[in-house]
Amino acid sequence: MSRLAATLELLSELTRWPSVAGQLSAQRGLAAWLERWMVEQLNAAVIHPVATQHDEAPPLVHVRIDNGSDRSVVLYNMYDVMPADDAGWDVAPFIGGIVEWPELGQVFVGRGAENNKGPVAALLILLREMQHSQQLNFNIEILLEGEEEVGSGALRRYLAQQPCPIAPAEAVLFPSLCEYGGGAPRVYLGFTGLASGRLNVTGGDWGGPSSAIHASNAGWIANPAWRLVQALHAIAPAEHSGVLARSMPDDEANQLLASLAEQFSIHDELRFRRSQRLMIAGDTLSSLQTLLGSAVLTLAELHSDPPGGRGVIPFRASAELAFRIPPGFDQDAMIAAAQQRLAQPDLAGCELQLFDRYPGVRFSRHAPGVDALIASYQTLGAAPQIWPWAPGCAPAYAFAAVAPAFLIGGLGHGGNAHAVNEFVTLAGLERFQQSMSLWLTAFNDSAIGRVAPHQGNTAVHKNTRL
């Protein structure tokens, strides 16, 4: 069987597990299946058995491939995916299959094809091949989690143990399809922090009913839904679309952004993001500075109870939200400021409930693994974009005790993550494996020294409260 055929067979198996948040049985089943596969196919040793994890969190899969070395590399990934139903899909999302698209050729469509079951399947098949042919002379730690989409709580608690269950390593890689939208691959030298939660407003002494009442009382009974709108505006004015504060990136970051701006296309980015215009003005460099220098409160869902009540004053309203705070900001201070504002008498009845949080982090341009990742792209004809940190969030800080760098990397074209018809091109799977092979073998003959990482609150200048 060819490498591609084996990859598609494994991807089909992974796709059929609906490993979404709340589907704990499916997540447990997939975690156990992956653990067993790696033991049988990679001769991996189980470090944290799935069968011993009995809490309500999706299991963490941790195995080790011991190649008799005193050096190791950590490969981190995820098996959880976003929910999906069949509406609008060319192939049922939890069955998956190959279709022919005129503009892209053959693609595998299925939930997780890009984010991130496609990369998991492709990497595991590649590792099996490289292990059988003895192409790697260092140890490999593999960590697969089921909570990446909801904050990585179990993973972060696991890595926070003393001593850490993973010994110091050369680098950590999150293998992913990084030719976003078919464009230039990106290399991120850090990640934005995340604090997820819910803002609740309940009727009580301040006003508002204790159960839903007829809307005809709106002239004299307060509405929790309007109090929710008032509270959101108080901590993140709507005219700024959730931006809490902005800062000018430091000199090191600006040097990277200046180089990035020379090759970055705002037009292509808008097309990729299915948008028609930015909400900010300025040239490419200033737009990138604003993007990375913005601490933002994002809103995912707004609810009122009872759901679907059109002619009532609800007794409760809530907003699912997240603070996305880049490196350089004081995450604790920003959240405390929001809590203090919500505690004022004019917002009585409001409560900010935080579910989970982790800070942003930066690391050096010359940290181990970075040059190897850039070289793997260049060898395959891709010119990477180097970002001082990602506008997206990842639990990179949790690996600070393990390695001086946490990288997202890999070539390959996929798309529609979290949306209908999520896909990866078949050519993209092969290209991903080629880039991963180059990155992994770069560690064979290298005596890569450890470089101290930049920590989460690296200095950033000119903070401006909006």
> Residue 410 belongs to a domain with what CATH number?
3.40.630.10
Same domain, 185 and 201: no
Same domain, 40 and 150: yes
Q: What confidence score (pLDDT) does residue 449 get?
A: 41
Same domain, 368 and 420: yes
Same domain, 341 and 207: yes
Structurally, the chain folds into a number of domains equal to: 2
Same domain, 346 and 389: no
Q: What confidence score (pLDDT) does residue 446 get?
A: 63
Same domain, 424 and 301: no
Within-domain flag for 416: yes
Q: Which domain holds residue 319?
A: 192-249+293-358
Q: What is the CATH number of the domain that holds 334?
A: 3.30.70.360
Instruction: Please give the radius of gyration of the chain, using alpha carbons only, rounded to the nearest integer.
Output: 23
Same domain, 141 and 220: no
Q: What confidence score (pLDDT) does residue 268 get?
A: 87
Same domain, 98 and 215: no
Within-domain flag for 339: yes
Q: Does the global pTM surpass 0.75?
A: yes
Same domain, 100 and 184: yes
Same domain, 235 and 166: no
Q: What confidence score (pLDDT) does residue 450 get?
A: 39
- Full pLDDT tens readout for the chain, 466 residues: 899 999 999 999 999 999 999 999 999 999 999 999 999 999 999 999 999 998 889 999 999 999 999 999 999 999 999 999 999 999 999 999 999 999 999 999 999 999 999 999 999 999 999 999 999 999 999 999 999 888 788 999 999 999 999 999 999 999 999 998 778 899 999 999 999 999 999 999 999 999 999 999 999 999 999 999 999 999 998 999 999 999 999 999 999 999 999 999 999 888 878 899 999 999 999 999 999 999 999 998 999 999 988 899 999 999 999 999 999 999 999 999 999 999 999 999 999 999 888 999 999 899 999 999 999 999 999 999 999 999 998 889 899 889 999 999 999 999 999 999 999 999 999 999 999 999 999 998 665 443 333 333 333 334 443 4
